[in-house]
Structure 1
Amino acid sequence: MTRQKRVGILTSGGDCGGLNAVTRAVVRRARDYGFAIYGIKDATMGLLSRPVEAELLDTKRVSSILRYGGTILGTINKNNPFAFPMPDGSLVDRSEEAIEGYHRLGLDALIGIGGDGSLAILDKLARQGNWNLVGVPKTIDNDVGTTEHSIGFHTALSIAVEALDRLTYTAISHSRVMVLEVMGRDAGHIAIGAGIAGGAHVILIPELPYSLEKVCEKILERKEQGNNYSIVVVAEAVKTESGEPVRYTNSLGQTLYGGIGHYIGNEISKRTGIETRVSILGHLQRGGTPSALDRLFGAAFGVAALDLVAQNKFGRMVAWQNRRVVDVPIAEAIAQYRSVELDGALVETALGLNTYIGEVDRPHPPYPQSSVDLGLPVPHGGG
C-alpha cells in the first residue's frame, strides 16, 4: 500500500483575520487527495518542542472556524530558530532541532502561512533541512512582494475605516481634529486605504515626506471654509518632520513603533489652537471577525497551496495577481517589498480628492476616472 502523504501546516508572525480560513481550506481540500494534515502549534516553537506539538486536523476540527479571528494553531513573532534567545540573554542556533521536528512528524510537505520575515526563516529551514515547503502570504501591512493581496489586510483595513467613521461623529460634535494612528510597519497601505475610504483630510504614510506647516494649513483652510472638524490618519512608521522614527521600548526590551499620532496631534494643537484628540488603533486591527475578502483569499490560497503539494511544486508561494491565484518562487516573493506606489491609483485618488498626503514631487493633472484600478477583485457577470 502507498503510504498516506502527511502535510504540516503552521501560522507564523502576528495574527490577523483570515488565517483560519486558510487552515480550513487546506483540511477540506485534503479530502480530495487523501492527505493527512497536521497542525503545528505556535509556528516553529511546535517543531522545537519534544515531543513535537502538532495535532491531526480533520473536517470536524475546522468546522465553523472560517469566521474566527486569530488562528487555532497559535502563532509567534519571535524566537527565530537561527538566533533563539536563551534565558541568559545569549542567542543559540536551534535550526537543526526545528528541522528534526519536521522529520520526526514524518512530513512530506509543509504549508507555512506568514509574512516576509516568517517566510524567509521557513525558506532557509527548508533549504537547510530538505523540506518541501509551500508558502501563503499573510500580513496586515500588505507588503509581501509579488502578491496584490495578503491575508489579514482587508480585515485590518475594514476595522480602520470603522474607527474613522466613529471618530468623525465625535469630531463633528466637538469641533475637533481627530488623529488616528494605524499599523503599518514600513508601508502605508492601511493608512492610505482607510484614509480614502474613511474620508480623511490628511493622510500621512512612510513612503512620503510631509510638512507640518502644510498639514496645519489644510486644517485651517477647512475651518475657514466653515468645516468645524478635520480627520487625520497616520501610519505608525511615519517619522517626525525631522526624520526621526517614533518608537518605545517595552518591559521585555523590545523596541516597537508607537507614538507618532501623539506627536502629530500635539503639533496640530500647538500650531492651530484647535482642540485635537489622538486614538491609536493598535492590535484591534488584527483581531475580530475576518472580513469577507480575507475569508475569500484565505479559502483560495488554502486550496491552491495544497494543490501545489499534490503537484510536487515546492519552494513556491501562492499569490494573487490579475484577479487569479498564481504561484511564485518564495525567494522571489521575499526579495521584493511592496510599498505604496507613489504613481499608483491610491495616491492619485487621494490627490484628486484634495487630500493632503505629503510632499508629492510631481504635478497631478486630471485623469479619467476609468483609469483608476484599486486592485480589488471584480465579480464576473452583469452589473
Structure 2
Amino acid sequence: MRIGILTGGGDCPGLNAVIRGIVKSAPENVEIIGIMHGWKGLVQGEYMKLTGDDVEGIHILGGTILGTSRINPFRSEEMRTKLEENIKKLGLDVIIGIGGDDTLSVTAKLASMGYRTVGVPKTIDNDVSNTDYTFGYHTAVNVGADAIDRLHSTAKSHGRVIFVELMGREAGWITLEAGLAAGAHLILIPEYPMTIEEIIGYINRRMKDKGYMIIATAEGFKPTELENVVGDKNHIDAFGHIKLGGIAHYMAEVVGERTGYDTRSMALGYLLRGGTPTAFDRLLGTRYGVRAMELVLKGDFGRMVALRGNEIVSIPLEYGIATKKLVPYEYYKLAQIFFG
C-alpha cells in the first residue's frame, strides 16, 4: 500500500508530530509518500519518501517538514487534471490530508470522487466542528497569554491603553482564552460585535479607576460601525479569504483620537503559530497521526479523526467542515465578569 500525506494551509505547532505518528505506526508493507507544499505539491508532482529515520525526533519541532501552501486544486480544470494525473503517477492508494477547513474540504471533495482519503484537523483557531480541540491551538493560547502577561507592566508604567491583536478569522477562541488567562481587561471577538462607543465606555471606566488597560482583540473582530473587517482586500487566497490584520492599529488610532489617551497596538500574528509545540499539542498530534493510520489499515475512508473528551474517534469528513465551531455565548459571558 502507498499512502500520500500532505499538510495544507497555515503552519502550526504539532504538524510534525502528526507526520511522525503516521510514519512510525505504518507497518513494513506500507510506503509513505510525503507530498511537498500541500496540494500544490500534488499538482506539481513534488514529493519525498518518508521512513522512520526521516521523522525521528521531529515532533518537538514547529512548522512542517513537508512545507505547506494555500492552493485549491479545484480552482481550474488544468490543476484538477494534473492533481489526478499525479495521484495515478505516484500510485497513491490513500491520501491523508492534514489541515483546516479548506484543506479538509479538498480532502472531502476527493473522497466524493471515489478516492480513498482520511482527514486530520489542524487549525490554531480551534474552529473545526465536531472535535474538542485541534493541535496547535494550545500552543497559540500559551504564546498569546505570555505576550499579554508581559504587556501589563508596560501599560501600567506608562498609563497606556494597549490593543493586542491575536489570530482568529471567524472564531475568537485564541483571543478569549489567552485574554482570560492573562487578565486582559476587555476581549473583542468576531462572534460578539460591539460599537466603538461601547468599547470607549469600558476604556473610560477602567482608565478612571485603574489608569491603564489591556484589550485583546481577534483579527476578525469588526466593530459594529465598520462594514467590513480590517485587512488587505487586494490579497485574497485561493479559497477566497482576504488577508486579515490591522484591527488593533485601527482601534488604537480611533480610541486615541476620541479620548486623548496614550493608545498603542501590537499584532502578535505569526508568533502565535511559530516555534516549539507544547506537550499537549505534541501528544494530540501524535495520537491523531496514529489514529489516522489505524483508519487507513481498517479501510475506514472518508473519515476525519477527532478528539472527544480523552478519546480519539473518527467522524465523517463532512461533519468536520459542515460549520465553524464558534465561541458559545455562555463562555463569553464568563469572560465578561472580568471586563473593566
TM bucket (normalised to shorter chain) is: over 0.9
Q: 1:341 to 1:251 in 2, by over 3 A?
A: closer
AA in 1 matched with 2:135: I
Output aligned runs, 1:119-198, within 5 Å.
119-128=104-113, 130-198=114-182
Structure 2 CA distance for aligned equivalents of residues 352 and 246 of structure 1: 28
Per-residue Cα deviation, 1:234-276 (whole angstroms, up to 9, x for no partner): 1111113314221224578984212211221122222332201
What SS does structure 2 have at the residue aligned with 1:60? coil
Find the counterpart in structure 2 of residue 47 from structure 1.
42
Find the counterpart in structure 2 of residue 6 from structure 1.
2
What SS does structure 1 have at the residue aligned with 2:332? helix
Structure 2 CA distance for aligned equivalents of residues 337 and 252 of structure 1: 20
Structure 1 position 349 matched with structure 2 position 311: no
Structure 1 position 68 matched with structure 2 position 64: no
Find the counterpart in structure 1 of residue 272 from structure 2.
285
Structure 1 position 334 matched with structure 2 position 318: no
Find the counterpart in structure 1 of residue 245 from structure 2.
258
Q: 1:119 to 1:38 in 2, by over 3 A?
A: same
Find the counterpart in structure 1 of residue 52 from structure 2.
59
Structure 2 CA distance for aligned equivalents of residues 162 and 264 of structure 1: 22
Find the counterpart in structure 2 of residue 271 from structure 1.
258
Structure 1 CA distance for aligned equivalents of residues 197 and 43 of structure 2: 52
Contact between 2:36 and 2:68, CA under 8 Å: does it hold in 1? yes
AA in 2 matched with 1:219: I
AA in 2 matched with 1:25: G
- For residue 134 of structure 1, report the CA deviation from its aligned partner: 0.5
Structure 1 CA distance for aligned equivalents of residues 80 and 231 of structure 2: 30
State the Cα RMSD in Å. 1.8
What SS does structure 2 have at the residue aligned with 1:82? coil
Q: How many residues align?
A: 336
AA in 1 matched with 2:170: D
AA in 1 matched with 2:141: L
| Structure whose alpha-carbon radius of gyration is higher | 1
Contact between 1:318 and 1:326, CA under 8 Å: does it hold in 2? yes
What SS does structure 2 have at the residue aligned with 1:83? coil
Find the counterpart in structure 2 of residue 212 from structure 1.
196
Contact between 1:114 and 1:138, CA under 8 Å: does it hold in 2? yes
Contact between 2:236 and 2:243, CA under 8 Å: does it hold in 1? no
Structure 1 CA distance for aligned equivalents of residues 36 and 232 of structure 2: 30
Structure 1 CA distance for aligned equivalents of residues 81 and 273 of structure 2: 32
Structure 2 CA distance for aligned equivalents of residues 93 and 188 of structure 1: 37
Contact between 1:139 and 1:153, CA under 8 Å: does it hold in 2? yes
Structure 1, unaligned stretches of length 5 or more?
85-91, 357-383
Structure 2, unaligned stretches of length 5 or more?
none
TM-score, normalization: structure 1? 0.83
How much identity, in percent, do the aligned residues show?
Answer: 44
